[in-house]
Structure 1
Amino acid sequence: MRDLLAAIGLVLVLEGLVLAAFPGAWRSAVKAVLKAPETPLRISGLLVGAVGVIVVWLVRG
């Protein structure tokens, strides 16, 4: 559970830094995501999730 909370905290730090450093690009990215069809978003989400599982598996393995 500690690892999960640490990972969530790290995601929040990275998202916050990107938002603080590049607010215009962040806003443009959000607008593009809102306009995108659902299927590519689902596929991207699955791919990113799979990469995350692989990274955790490699680090923890």
Structure 2
Amino acid sequence: MTMELLLTAVAIAFIIEGLIPALFPNKWRSYVLKIAQESPNNIRTIGLTGVCFGALILWLI
């Protein structure tokens, strides 16, 4: 993997992450407030699930 490919992937991730608050700011705010009220274990589980899902997709590619 080249540095250019890695930076491209990071740039695409930033674009995707920025689309939701840009298009739906009120819904995004309420979602963030809801997440802030979750227990740390639930947030950790969500994060680890995302990491595993991303690693699986990367492995399949």
TM-score bin, normalised by smaller chain? 0.7 to 0.9
Gap regions ≥5 residues in structure 1: none
Q: Does 1:56 align with 2:58?
A: yes
What's the offset of the Cα at 1:7? 1.8
What's the offset of the Cα at 1:3? 2.8
What is the TM-score when the length of structure 1 is the normalising length? 0.84
- Count of matched residue pairs: 59
Please list every run of at least 4 consecutive aligned residues from structure 1 whose deviation after the TM superposition is greater than 4 angstroms: none
1:1-61 equivalences in 2 (<5 Å): 1-59=3-61
Partners in 1 of 2:35 and 2:57 — Cα distance? 25
Partners in 1 of 2:5 and 2:52 — Cα distance? 18
Q: Cα RMSD over matched residues? A: 1.1
Q: Please tell me the residue identity of whatever aligns with 1:22.
A: F
Partners in 2 of 1:28 and 1:3 — Cα distance? 34
